[in-house]
Structure 1
Amino acid sequence: MTDDAYLVLLHGGSPDLGVPPAALGGLACMDTPAVLGWLGAQGAAAASPLLRVLPPEETAAIPEDVERLPVPLSDEELALVRHQGAPPAIARVEEELLTYRTLADGRDALLARAFSAGVPAHRIAELTGESLAEVKALAARR
């Protein structure tokens, strides 16, 4: 496995390989001289349906005869490539996990706001699904 993401130009086969860069809303690497030069040398446009980007863990699936170029992706871009390339069922669960993470990151602050507003501990536990013991422990730390 490599640590590089790759831009590949397919020859018509493997339509499920990778994600079209055009579907990702503009990767920063697409405007670099290296990518622009590579696209020019291939006679391909950035919007070509045959152009795909693959995350590092999928590069072993690139056929031997396919033109490829390693490209730098930010963590956010790489996460987007992985999400867009996932099967629909996995993509839905990933969305739920991201929502959970967003909510969990602000959990203590939300519970503290509830206490400050006067919501009783038993009601906070009931509404959040947190155990009453956990809610009371958070209240004691405030």
Structure 2
Amino acid sequence: MTDEAYLFLLDDADVVLGVAPAAVGDLACMDTTAVRAWLNAQGCTAASPRLRLVPPEERAVVPEGAERLPVPLSEEELSRVRHRMAPGTHARVEDELLAYRDCADGRDELIARALAAGVPPHRVAELTGVDPATVTAAAGGR
């Protein structure tokens, strides 16, 4: 499997395949000389409703014969593309998972700070909902 996503042009803008790059937000690849030259050669702009983007694992949906260009995406950009392509029910749950990831990021450091400040481990476990053994492990065995 390739690690590159694909930009491609649809013959019919009403066909729903992939995602419009503009709907994903800023993508570094869209500012590259290669992409700008490719768009220019196709006679279209980055805002064209015919321009679509798919992640590497979805490249099979690109219609045969469609003009296409492989583009590199960062992990964060690729995650946004996948999120935009997800069905509505998946997208809502993915939003919750992203919110959880964001609030859980730095958990161990926060636990260590709380313990260093004198908050007892049982209270940290109570406030966070984290298992007491996890509190101890996150604090480096304190």
Output the CA distance in 2 between the equivalents of 1:140 and 1:69: 48
Does structure 2 retain, via aligned residues, the 8 Å contact 1:2–1:59? no
Output the CA distance in 2 between the equivalents of 1:57 and 1:140: 39
Q: 1:39 to 1:135 in 2, by over 3 A?
A: closer
Output the CA distance in 2 between the equivalents of 1:66 and 1:47: 18
Does structure 1 retain, via aligned residues, the 8 Å contact 2:19–2:85? yes
Asked whether 1:129 is paired with 2:129, we answer: yes
Structure 1 residue runs of 5 or longer lacking an equivalent are none
Question: Cα distance, 1:134 vs. partner?
Answer: 3.4
User: Identity of counterpart residues, as a percentage?
Assistant: 64
Deviations 1:16-63 (A, max 9, x none): 311111122232222222222221222211101110111100000111
The answer for the alignment partner of 1:12 in structure 2 is 12
Question: Cα distance, 1:140 vs. partner?
Answer: 7.3
The answer for the alignment partner of 2:86 in structure 1 is 86
Task: Write out aligned runs for 1:56-67 (5 A).
Answer: 56-67=56-67
The answer for the alignment partner of 2:47 in structure 1 is 47
Does structure 2 retain, via aligned residues, the 8 Å contact 1:6–1:59? yes
Output the CA distance in 1 between the equivalents of 2:47 and 2:137: 55
User: Is the partner of 1:45 in helix, strand or coil?
Assistant: coil
Output the CA distance in 2 between the equivalents of 1:61 and 1:17: 7
Normalising by structure 2, report the TM-score. 0.82
Residue identity in the other structure for 1:39: L
Question: Cα distance, 1:136 vs. partner?
Answer: 4.6
Deviations 1:41-99 (A, max 9, x none): 22211101110111100000111132111112222222221122222222222233233
User: Is the partner of 2:70 in helix, strand or coil?
Assistant: strand
Range moving further from structure 2, 105-114 or 44-53? 105-114
The answer for the alignment partner of 2:70 in structure 1 is 70
The answer for the alignment partner of 2:38 in structure 1 is 38
Range moving further from structure 2, 64-73 or 97-106? 97-106
User: Is the partner of 2:7 in helix, strand or coil?
Assistant: strand
Normalising by structure 1, report the TM-score. 0.82
